[in-house]
Amino acid sequence: MTQTTSTIPAERKRALGLAGALVGLAVTLGACQHTSDDSLAMVNAPADYRQRHPIAVTEADRSIVVFVGRGRGGLTAEQRAEVTGMAQDWMREGTGAVSVDVPVDTANARAAQDSLREIQATFAAVGVPPRGILVRKYHPEDPRQMPAIRVNYPRITAVAGPCGIWPEDLGTSVHNPSYLENKQYYNFGCANQRNLASMVENPADLVQPRAETPAYTPRRGIAFEKYRKGTATATAYPESDKAKLSDTGK
């Protein structure tokens, strides 16, 4: 009887110790779960928004969709203009082959083939070589969606973001380090960077300047000749005075 009473407290102590360890582990894991990636984003974030949300130059696809009815092949005037513009852009900025996805085993499969031939002819007329166009067949997954021809090609583009990350509260609080130190909030400037990346025509302009174009030799020769003779090198435009409506200010 004495041995049993002395063993029970020891087992209870071990059980309580194990329970305490489990509670401590749960508290620790719970604290880790409250630390999200968004909250860590502000820890080492640069002060300059251009460094927090840099514009990256990468390769992405440009694509158009050509819808084809089941009873009419070929391209409409608007579709022909879109395909022509895309072919001209490929000549200037394309970095890979043009991929044309054509639906098969559909109600408009025959009409799609007629449209495909016109698309190929349009690209060839602009100057795209036949080996630069890859035709691929696909089966539409959604029967409710009208099968269409998808035309795309890779090009160099500029991207920024993603935006909308708010690791800290913007309110006036002592628990907000950005407010106390008068710093920019993390998402500040992201939309501006993203819009600039989408508007720039040549992404290389964000990295390096363009080379200078050659000087206009005939005009430069005339200016040098006037300079050699000691006459004024400025160009006179006598027609400019005819467009004036008033002599006020003379």
pLDDT of residue 5: 46
pLDDT of residue 190: 95
Q: Is residue 248 assigned to a domain?
A: no
Q: Is residue 130 assigned to a domain?
A: yes
Q: Is residue 23 assigned to a domain?
A: no
Count structural domains, the chain. Answer: 2
pLDDT of residue 145: 86
Q: Is residue 213 assigned to a domain?
A: no
pLDDT of residue 250: 60
Dist CA 162 CA 171 (whole Å)? 23
pLDDT of residue 124: 96
Regions in the chain scoring below 50 on pLDDT: 1-6, 27, 29-36, 38-40
pLDDT of residue 185: 86
Full residue range of the structural domain in which residue 42 is found: 38-54+161-199
Dist CA 170 CA 178 (whole Å)? 8
Q: Is residue 96 assigned to a domain?
A: yes
Shared domain for 64 and 104, answered yes or no, is yes
